[in-house]
Amino acid sequence: MATLVTIPGIMSDARTWAPVAQDLEPNVDAVHVADTTKDATLEAMATRALNDTIGDLIVMAHSMGGASRWKWAVRRPSGSRP
């Protein structure tokens, strides 16, 4: 299995993905909500999220979170599924 990573969009927080993550939680090892409030750049957000997770990842993102996800994919092309 894998860790489900949710990345909220701009002006959003963990509540954005909470209902979906809750429904999918039985099908993954863990759920991680990326904290996009501590960094000023997409690169920094991607770095923080990558440093906070290990193993295979399933990533769900939208808006700014989706843009951050692309930065992430460049750094870790294997081991994560869009």
Contact 72, 80 (CB under 8 A): yes
Question: Do residues 45 and 14 lie in contact, with contact meaning Cβ atoms separated by under 8 Å?
Answer: no
pLDDT of 4 reads 92
pTM (predicted TM-score): 0.75
Structure tokens that stand for 44 in this block: 């920094």
Could you read off the pLDDT of 18-64 as tens digits, one per residue?
Answer: 999 999 999 999 999 988 888 888 888 888 888 898 888 888 887 77
Given this model, what pLDDT does residue 66 score? 66
Q: What is the pLDDT of residue 72?
A: 65
CATH number at residue 74: 3.40.50.1820
Range of the domain at 71: 3-81
Number of compact structural domains in the chain: 1
